[in-house]
Amino acid sequence: MAAKRFILNETSYHGKGAIEAIVPEVKNRGFKKALIVTDADLVKFNVVKKVTDLLDNADLAYEIYDKVKANPSVKIVQDGVEAFKNANADYMIAIGGGSPQDTAKGIGIIINNPEFSDVVSLEGVAPTKNKSVPVIAVATTAGTAAETTINYVITDEEKRRKFVCVDPHDIPVVAVVDPDMMASMPKSLAAATGMDALTHAIEGYTTLAAWELADTLNLKAIEIIARSLRGAVAKDEKAMEDMALAQYVTGMAFSNVGLGVVHGMAHPLSAFYDTPHGIANAVLLPYVMEFNAPFTGEKFREIARVMGVKNVDNMSEEQYRQAAVDAVKTLKKDVGIPETLKEIGVKEEDLEALTDAAMADVCTGGNPRPCSREQVLEVYKTAFGK
What's the CA gap between 302 and 213, in Å, rounded? 15
Q: DSSP letter string over 186-253?
A: -HHHHHHHHHHHHHHHHHHHHSTT--HHHHHHHHHHHHHHHHHHHHHHTT-HHHHHHHHHHHHHHHHH
In the prediction, which pLDDT does 2 show? 82
Buried b (16+ CB within 10 A) or exposed e, 72-84: bbbebbbbbbebb
Looking at residue 53, its amino acid is D
Cα–Cα distance for residue pair 15/24, rounded to 1 Å: 17
Question: Per-10-residue mean pLDDT for the chain, 386 residues long?
Answer: 91 97 98 98 96 98 96 96 98 96 98 97 95 98 94 91 93 97 92 97 98 98 98 96 97 97 96 92 98 98 98 98 98 97 97 97 96 98 95
Pairwise CA distance, residues 371 & 364, whole Å: 8
Q: Under a CB-based contact definition with an 8 Å cutoff, are residues 243 and 184 in contact?
A: no
Q: What is the DSSP letter of 153?
A: E
**C-alpha triplet 142, 147, 152: angle, nearest 5°:** 105
What are the Cα distances from residue 136, in Å, to 59, 83, 93, 186, 324?
18, 17, 5, 24, 37
Q: How far apart are CA 164 and CA 198, in angstroms?
A: 19
Q: Name the 3-class secondary structure at 277.
A: helix
Which residues are bridge partners to 35 per DSSP? 63, 92
Q: Say what the pLDDT of residue 160 is.
A: 84
Contact 358, 265 (CB under 8 A): yes
Tell me the three state secondary structure of residue 84: helix
Model pTM score: 0.95
DSSP state of 313: G
pLDDT of residue 332: 97
Terminal-residue alpha carbon distance, the chain: 46
Domains observed in the chain: 11-182 (3.40.50.1970), 187-384 (1.20.1090.10)
